[in-house]
Every structure is written in C-alpha cells, then in structure tokens.
Structure 1
Amino acid sequence: MNATKPARRSSSGVIANIVLLVIAALWLVGSFQALRVLVAGSLRTQPESVANLIMSLSGTIAGAVFGGAAAGYLARSAKVRPFTAMSRHVCALSGGVVVGLVTAGLSFYTFGATPAVATIVAGVAGCAAVIGSLFAAAKNRDIVFAGLVGTLLVFVVMFLRGWFGGLVNSLYHSNPDAYRWIAIAAGLVIGLCVGLCGYLVLRRLQPKTSLYGFLAAGAAPGALWMFSEIATRIAAALLVANTAEPDVLSGLMMDQSLQAQLDGSMAALFAGATTTVLAFGLLAPKADAKAKAAKRGTAVPAQKSKAKKTAPDAKRGGGKKSTA
C-alpha cells in the first residue's frame, strides 16, 4: 500500500504538469491573437503606433517565460538516468526550446506583414522562453511547482488589467503618478497572494522543506514576472530603433507604463518572499519547530535535566519495594 503512494503522486504530478502547460499554451495563443486583432493591422499603415504594441507586449512575453518554465518542468519529469544536474538542465532547456520555437512561429504568423517587428518579437520572446525554462532545472521539483502555481495568480491580474484597459488608460491620462503607485500597490497585493499560495502548496507537497526553499517558492512568481518585464524593455528598445519612433506623448506613456509594470513586478517579488518567510514562521506546526530544535541540539539539556530528576525517583521506588 505504501509503494503505491509515490506512483500515485507521480501520476498526479504529470497531470498537473500538463494542466500548467495547457494554460501556458492557451495564454500564448490568446495573447498573440489579441495582438493580431488590435495592433498588427495598424502597424502596416501607422508604424509610429509601435508604442501600443510595446505596452501590450508584457503579457505575451510573460506567457512565453511561463510556458518555457512549464515545458521544462514537464521535460525534466522524464525518467532519465543518471539523473544529474547536467541531465536536469538539458531536459529543462529542451522543453524551453520547443516553446521558444512555437512562440517564434506565432510571432511570424501575427506580424507577417511587418517582418522587422515579427523578427524582434520572435527573437526576444523565444529567448525568454528558453531562459525561463532554466527555472525548472532547480533540484527541488516541488519548489518549482509551487512557484509555477503562484505565477498563475500573476496572469489573473494581467488578464484583469487587459480587460479593464480603458479604465487603466483613463487613469494614466488623469494622473500618471497615481498610475505608478497603483501598480506598486497591486504588486504588493499580488506578492501577498503568491507568497501564501507558494507556502501552502509547498507545505502540502514537502512539509520538511527548509526556510530557503519556502523563500524561493514565494519569490519565484515575482522573479519570473520581473524577468519578463526586463525582456519587454529589451524588445521595446529594439522595436523603437528598427521601426518608426512614436510621437512624444505616446513615447512618454510607453516609458511610464513600462516603468510602472517593472516596479509592480519588483514589489511582487519582495512581498512574495516576505510573505512566505512570515508564513513559515507563524503558520508552521509546533511539532516541526520542536523537531528542528532537537535536530540542532537545543533540546538535549532538557533531556539531561529530565533524566537527573527521574533518577532519584527510581531510587525511591526501589527503596519502597525493598522495604515491602
């Protein structure tokens, strides 16, 4: 009966991997389709509208990073022997390369009328997917899985941001500084949610994980988001340099939007790591704390004192028996 538990867990883990990969694929296809409908057509007639593309590119590149990590996590689950650090990285990178090629194909399909834009988006998003797959090469698989589950909450917020895009744009035009601070506040809330999610998932999968493992699980979603924002800024610089430069107002709005998104990702990284550490200290069962204290040797003096107290009691008991 105990032998079936690892097999049952591995089968459920494979199903969870596939679900994560399907979500990543749907996000990538949907984001590229949205870019094709809303942005790609205007680039042919108005090349200076590249600012609209750049401000909409963050979610697409984030999807590529997440897809590369999810595919790498699924690829590293293969039964490769010997399972060394090199084989982990090779398997994870192979999954990232597949996602990178798919992302490049979607880019050329979306921006086929503007080859320069298609090449830049394909190159940056594809490389981001490959680099994102390295996250899946971590030694502890459960930490990777907890980080990927927490990243799904980031996509929920990105979806809501796109859904209420008109309200976000009106907020920016009315008060750009408030837009930035709202992005930071949203990042802190996201970090709180992903930190709790990472703690709960990792606590369920591997309760004996160290503090640093929980810290990595809570910080991973913010780190992946921040990396995607950095890749978006690289794509923005290449697009502006190789296409028509946007007008002054659009360029200013683009720069502040990119900065606000980067600030939000850094806030999520900090809040996620902090929340997981606090949850580890406040929510961990006392039995685990006692076991770790005993493992460090702090409970040994208490055991010695207890032994000293019980020794006279034993002598007294022996004396009573002898008098009887």
Structure 2
Amino acid sequence: MPSPEPEPQEAPAASAGESADPVHEAPRPGRPALWVLGLAAALSLGGVVYSLYRVLGMAEGLDDTGVMLLANNLFSPIIVTAFAGAVGGAVAPRLILKRRSKGPRRAVAALGFTVVGIIAAVVAYLSFSVDADIALALALVLFGSALVGGLFALPARSVTVVAGLSATLLLLLSMYARGVLQRTSTVSLFSDPLDEYGALGSAVPFITGLACGLCAFLYLRRKKAGVKLLGHLLAGAIPGAIWLVSTVLAQIGVEAVLNIGLEEVSALDTAFLALSFQWQYNGSMTAMFAGAFCAVLAYGLLMPKAPKAKAAKSS
C-alpha cells in the first residue's frame, strides 16, 4: 500500500527583525580622517583668532586704523570658521550616533556646527571685549559663518562631505602657504601688484581648485564608497563653494564693522576693498569650477570600470 504523500508546508515567515535581502550599509568616513579634520579645524580657528588679535593690538581698543585692519583681515577668520562649522557637522553624527543607528543624523549635525559657532563667537567676543560693539559684531559674524558652513555637512552621503572637507583643508593650507610666502619672500609672485587681481592671479585659484578636486577624488577612491558622478562633482566643488559663501559673509561683516567703527571710509579704502572682494569672488568661482571639473574628469578616466561593463565590452 503506497504511503500517503506529505502535505506541502509553507515556508516560515521571516521575523520582523530579519529581511530577505542583505542590508548594505552606506560607507562611513573613518575616524582617522575625522580626527585630522577636527584637530585641523580647532587649531586653525584658535590660530586665526589669536593672529587677528595680535595684528590689531586690542589692549586699548580700536582706532580708525585698527578698524580698517580688521576689515581687511576679516576674511581669514570667516572662512576658517565656516570650515570648522562644516567639520563639526560632519564629526558630531559619527561620534554620537551608533553605527547601525538610524537616528536624526541631520539634527545631530546641526547640533555639532551650532556648538562650533557658539565656541567661535564666545572666543571672539572675549578676545576683543575691550571694544564691546566691535566684539559683538565679530562674534555674530563668526557664529553665522559656522552655521552657514555647517550646511555643507547636511547631505546624506557623509563620505562625500568628508572628501570635500579634506579638499577644503588643502585649500586653506594653500592660502596660508601663499600668505607666508608673500610676507617672507623678497621676490613678489607678480611682476605688477595689479596682476594679483588679474588673469595671472586667476591662475592660482584654478591650479588650487584642480588640486582640491584631485584630493577629493583620491579620498573617495580610497574609501571605495561607490559614489557616482554627482557625488564626485559635489565633493570637488565644496572647497570653492565654502570660499564663495565665506566671501559673501566677509562682505557683510566688513560693512557691519565699518558702520560701527568708522564714520566715513576713504575712497582709496573703498576701492581697495572692492578690488579685493572682486578677486575673492572670481577666485572662489574659479576654484569651484576647477575642483568639480577635475573630480569628474578623474572619475571618468581613473575610476576602474565595473566587471559587468568590461564583460559586455569584450563580448
């Protein structure tokens, strides 16, 4: 007598905590890169505020010459604070949230760059508190710079953000090196002082932008994060974009400082500031274009092709 056929049984349902498909986590920036960026941001922020304090000599407040010196040197603390705010926004989620946590990453990032802004504002106000009005204006400008810079840390791909910030660190180092070279060298980089603001001066931001774009690409390639074309475009453009928004903030801050500290600005000082800001705008947009272009070009030429693409091409 034949044995009865076994009844078909249904496969056990997957539990709520399991999924049929494996979960692929998005790559996250490594802690060494974040530590380097955080340390660089802290040192550069403290150094630029201290350097500004020494240049101005705030023992007895600011006279008219000191106000103009502050206006002419305001760009450096602003771009450094914007960079520090972006770093704070990138570092905070990595340190606070657990690896598998789906917590409010952007809220934690906002907390990070807000804390950086508060620290920068407090340090600036205490350093220049001899002149309360100037100190308050400077503190508000730096606080706003940290908030605006922190917005660059909000994109979902944190690896792309860190790649762009690594390239921004290279940009800041090149600015610092250029300033040191111009102060210490007896030979000018330009045959005519106005060349610094002309076509010859535009070559420096372009070359720097290319280096920043290559730096961003190399970081993304080393991380093997699977970032596509738009991610490389964003990472390469971040240094120039931070430079651009810092120039806008510097122009606002200079107007505020001059309105507080001076009753009238000479025509020569006005012309110099206008020429300086024009160069900053041109340089930032040149660096942003060059960085994005280099990162995208490197992605197309140097990124290894996927095995499927190679197989399809050979068949």
Say whether the fold is shared (TM-score over 0.5): yes
Q: AA paired with 2:197?
A: Y
Distance in structure 2 (CA, Å) of the matches to 1:263 and 1:206: 34
Shift of 1:66: 0.9
Structure 1's 125 and 224: CA in aligned 2 closer, same or farther, altered over 3 A?
A: same
Q: Pairwise mapping of residues 247-258 of structure 1 onto structure 2 (< 5 A)?
A: 247-258=266-277
1:241 aligns to 2:289 (yes or no): no
Deviations 1:292-318 (A, max 9, x none): 588xxxx4xx89xx7xxxxxxxxxxxx
The answer for unaligned runs of 5 or more in structure 2 is: 1-24
Residue in 2 that maps onto 1:118? 135
Q: Is the 8 A contact 1:150 1:194 kept in 2?
A: yes
Q: AA paired with 1:22?
A: L
Q: Is the 8 A contact 1:43 1:50 kept in 2?
A: no
Q: Pairwise mapping of residues 149-228 of structure 1 onto structure 2 (< 5 A)?
A: 149-166=166-183, 175-228=193-246
Q: AA paired with 1:267?
A: T
Residue in 2 that maps onto 1:311? none
Deviations 1:154-210 (A, max 9, x none): 111221233245479x88995335434344211101110001011110111135211
Q: Is the 8 A contact 1:59 1:158 kept in 2?
A: no
Q: Is the 8 A contact 1:183 1:263 kept in 2?
A: no
Deviation larger for 69-78 or 246-255: 246-255
Q: Is the 8 A contact 2:182 2:189 kept in 1?
A: no
Residue in 2 that maps onto 1:279? 298
Q: Pairwise mapping of residues 41-60 of structure 1 onto structure 2 (< 5 A)?
A: 41=58, 44-60=61-77
Q: AA paired with 1:71?
A: G
Residue in 1 that maps onto 2:48? 31
1:18 aligns to 2:35 (yes or no): yes
The answer for unaligned runs of 5 or more in structure 1 is: 1-5, 307-324
Deviations 1:244-287 (A, max 9, x none): 143322232222112212211111000000111111111122x3
Selected match of 2:157 from 122, 140, 144: 140
Equivalenced residues, count:
286
Identity over aligned pairs, percent: 33
Between Structure 1 and Structure 2, the one with more helix by share is: 1
Q: Is the 8 A contact 1:50 1:246 kept in 2?
A: no
Aligned to 2:109, the other structure's residue is in SS state: helix
Q: Is the 8 A contact 1:48 1:246 kept in 2?
A: no
Distance in structure 2 (CA, Å) of the matches to 1:88 and 1:246: 46
Q: Is the 8 A contact 2:42 2:84 kept in 1?
A: yes
Residue in 1 that maps onto 2:123? 106
